[in-house]
Amino acid sequence: MPVALLTYADLGARLNISREAARSLARRRRLPRSRSDDGKALVRVDFSELRYTPRPRTGRRANPIDVSIARIEAIKTEAFKAEIARLEDVATAYRAVFERERERAERLAVELQQASAEATAATAWAARLEDDMAALRTDRRPGGSLAGYAARRLGHLAAAIVKADRAARAR
């Protein structure tokens, strides 16, 4: 094929590329250039030597800063989601411990009330026994002998002790 003098636009039309791509190709291949009478650049091209297949067009590349910011935001979002999930697991574990300790505290409060009631009953029982002992010592009972009263009182005391012992074993 003969050598042709073409403008960048004509070269781009022949090769099915843009005018800027034709200009870049002429520079890369160091094709001889000259100026026409109207001031446009002319390129001397021998199409038999020029073996050129254009690359398929790719979309415009996104701004690398925007891509980086989007990637950081995605990582942040994933990291925040992971942290939230971890904190929810920790909160669930603490909640279980809290519930277990609350139930234990309630059981201890019930046991404390029972122990308090038993202590009050024991104090009342001790006071009644002290009164009975004082009555036996002073013999305040009119018309009764000391030996008869002591025997009856001793029987009552023994029955009360057996009753208290049976009640304690039942618990």
Do 109 and 73 lie in one domain? The reply is yes
Query: Alpha-carbon dihedral of residues 106, 110, 112, 116, nearest 10 degrees?
Result: 150
Residues 6+ apart with CB under 8 A from 2: 46
Residue 57's beta-bridge partner residues?
A: none
Q: Is residue 90 over pLDDT 80? A: yes
Number of domains in the chain: 3
Q: With bands split at pLDDT 50, 70 and 90, how would you rate the model's confidence at 105? A: very high
Do 34 and 73 lie in one domain? The reply is no
Mean pLDDT value of segment 20-40 = 88
In a domain, 96, yes or no: yes
Q: Is residue 3 over pLDDT 60? A: yes
In a domain, 171, yes or no: yes
Q: What is the pLDDT of residue 48?
A: 73
Do 83 and 114 lie in one domain? The reply is yes
First to last CA, the chain: 117
- pLDDT digit string, tens, across residues 123-163: 998 888 888 777 766 655 555 565 666 677 777 888 888 88
Where residue 105 falls (left for φ over 0; alpha for ψ -120 to 50; beta otherwise) is alpha
Do 116 and 74 lie in one domain? The reply is yes
The pTM of the full predicted model, rounded to 2 decimals, is: 0.37
Q: Is residue 18 over pLDDT 90? A: no
Q: What is the pLDDT of residue 157?
A: 83
In a domain, 16, yes or no: yes
In a domain, 98, yes or no: yes
What count of Cα atoms within 13 Å lies in the side-chain half-sphere of residue 90? 6
Do 120 and 145 lie in one domain? The reply is no
In a domain, 33, yes or no: yes
In a domain, 52, yes or no: no
In a domain, 15, yes or no: yes
| Mean pLDDT rounded to a whole number for the chain | 83
Q: What is the pLDDT of residue 69?
A: 84
In a domain, 158, yes or no: yes
Please give the residue that has the higher pLDDT: either 56 or 31: 31
Do 94 and 118 lie in one domain? The reply is yes
**Which domain, by its residues, includes 8?**
3-46
